[in-house]
Chain A
Amino acid sequence: MKRHGEQNHYELMEISPGASPLEIRRAYKKIFDLYQDDSIASYSFFSERERREILARLEEAYLTLIDAESRAAYDRGLMERGLLEEEKQYHDKTKDPVPIYDFKKVHAGAQGPLKRQEEMKRRAAQNPVIQSILAQDRIAGADLRRIRMEMDVPIEEVAAKTNVRMEMLRAIEEEHYDLFLPRVYMIGFLRSYARYLHLDENIAVGGYFKRVEERKQV
C-alpha cells in the first residue's frame, strides 16, 4: 500500500478509476466521516493542521473527479505518466456522446428538480443528525458542512444554485475568517446557503455568528 501523501485521487478515495459519479460521491462521504471534526478516531491521531490538510486533499480529489471535464483532464495526466490504462477509465455508456457527468443535468433528468427539492426538504426536516446540529446553541462551519453532507449536496451545487462563490462557501465551512467579506455580505451568503439546504435561516445564521464572535475574541 502506498503512503497517504503519495496516493492519486482514486487511491486516496479508495475507488477504482472506473468508478461512477455515484460511487465517487458515496466514497467521499464515507471517507469524509473518518476525518470530520467530531470523529474521535481521527481527533486523537492527527493534529488539527494535519486533519485540515487531509480534508483539503480529499475535497480536491472529490471535486476533480466529480466533474466530467476535470476528471478527463486528470485521467489524461495519469495516462501520460503510465499510471492509468485507457480501458480502465470511467465511461458512461448511457450518455454517449454527451459529457460524462454533469450533476445539474443528472439531478434534473433523473429525478426532476421538483422531486429533488422535496426530497431535500424532507431530509432537512427529518434527519436526526441535522436536527441535533440545529438544536445547538452555536453552529460551526464544520456543522454546516456536516449538514450538507447528510443531505448529499455537493458544494459546487450550492455554489451553482446560490451564485455564492465556491471559495466563499469553503471559507464559511472552514471558518477562514481572514477571507471573510464585511458582515452584511457574509450574512447574505449564509442565508442563501441555508435557504438552499432548506434550513431555518435564522437558526443557521444566528448560531453560526454566535460562534464566529466567540472565536474572534480568543
Chain B
Amino acid sequence: MSNIWSIGGGKGGSGKSFFAGNLGILLARKGYRTLLIDADLGAANLHTIIGIPHPEKSISDFINKKAGTLEETAVPASTPNLFLISGAMNNLDIANLAYEQKMRLMRNIARLPYEYILLDLGAGTSFNTIDYFMISHAGIFVTTPEPTSIENIYRLIRSVYFRKIRQVVKTHDFRILTEEAGKRNSSATVSHPDVFLQMVKELDPEKGDTLERELQAFQFKLTLNQLRKQDNPKTGELICKIIERHLGLKMSFAGNISFDDHVHDSVCRKVSFVDCYPYTQTALDLRECCRTLLEDVEKHAIVQAVQKRVDA
C-alpha cells in the first residue's frame, strides 16, 4: 500500500507547492517510487517547481474520461522514480468537481501503485481540500512564522480533525455531541476537539475506540517555512505543543525551512530548488525534513504493528 501524504496550509503562498515538489524529488532520489499530485485544480503550478514546463497530460484527462485510468495521466519527471499528475486545466469550470467525480478521483488515488504519493492541496479549509486528508495517512501542514498563517493552520487542523470525527460519528449523533460539548465548554471560545473523543467514549465506548484508532492512524505534521534570521526557531515546536495541550492531538514537528531568495530564482528559471541550489541552508533543511518524515514513518509502523497485536 502506498503512503499518502497531504500537504496543506491555511493560507496561500506559504510554500505548500514548493515543499511538496522538493520533498517529492528527495524521496525519489532515495529510491522511492514517488508520485506528486497537483490537487490545486485551476491554480496548478507544481509542474513548474519540479521543472516540467508543459506537462503533456493532466488530471483533467481522467476527469473528462479522455484517459482510461488515472495512472495513465502520470508523466515522468527528469528525476528518476518521480512522477507527476498535473492539475493544469484548460477549462476553469471543472476546478470544482461534482461530488461523484471527486469520489471517483479519491478512490482512484488511493489505489495508485507508488510508495509515496504527495498531494499538493490548495489553500483553505473548503470541503474540496479537507476531503483529501481523509484518504491520506499523514497531513503535513505548512505555515510561515506569521500570525495570520499560523491562525489559519490552527483552523485547518481543527477542520481536518472534526472531519475525521464525522467520518466515524453519524451526522445525527454529531449534532447532539456538538450541543453537549458546547454546554460542557461554554466558557471557552476555543472549542476542544478532545472533549468530543471523551464524550463519544462515554456515550458509546465501541465507537469511541474506533474513533481513537482512526485518529491515531492519521499523523499530523508541521513544517515552518520561510523562516528568517530574526524569527524564533522554536515557534514550530511551540505550535505543536499548543496543539497537543489544547486540541488534545499529537502533532509532530518536521522542521524549519529557511527563507532563501534563491527560491524565487529557481521558480523563475523553472528548475527545482534542491537540484539547483543543493548547498544552501534551505536545501539542507529540506533534506533534514525529509529524513525526519521517513524516520517517523518507521516509528509509526512499529507502533501500529504493536497496537494491532494488542487489539488481536
Interface residues of A (CB under 8 A from B): 1, 3-5, 33-34, 39-47, 50
Contacts and interface: CB of A to CB of B under 8 A. Distances in A.
Given A46-B190, A50-B189, A3 B248 contact: yes
Contacts of A39: 235, 238
Size bin of chain B's contact surface:
20 to 34
A41 B189 contact: no
9 contacts: A1-B248, A3-B198, A40-B146, A41-B238, A41-B242, A42-B238, A44-B154, A45-B150, A45-B151
B245 interface: yes
Q: Which of B145, B147, B154, B242 has the most A CB atoms < 10 Å from its CB?
A: B242
Given A42-B242, A44-B147, A44-B151, 4 more contacts: A4-B246, A45-B154, A46-B190, A50-B189
A3 B147 contact: no
Contacts of B154: 44-45
B189 A34 contact: no
B150 A3 contact: no
Contacts of B151: 44-45
B194 interface: yes
A162 B149 CA distance: 43
Interface string B216-256: 00000000000000001011001101100110100000000
Given A1-B248, A4-B245, A40-B145, A45 B190 contact: yes
Interface string B55-81: 000000000000000000000000000
B310 interface: no
B246 A33 contact: no
Contact of B150 (A1, A5, A40): A40
A54 to B, nearest CB: 9
B201 interface: no
Contact of B241 (A1, A4, A34, A46): A34
Nearest to B187: A5
A92 B242 CA distance: 32
Q: Which of A3, A5, A39, A50 has the most B CB atoms < 10 Å from its CB?
A: A3
Nearest to B237: A41
Contact of A45 (B194, B232, B234, B242): B242
Contact of B235 (A1, A5, A41, A46): A41
B190 A41 contact: no
Interface in B176-197: 188-190, 192, 194-195
Nearest to A49: B189
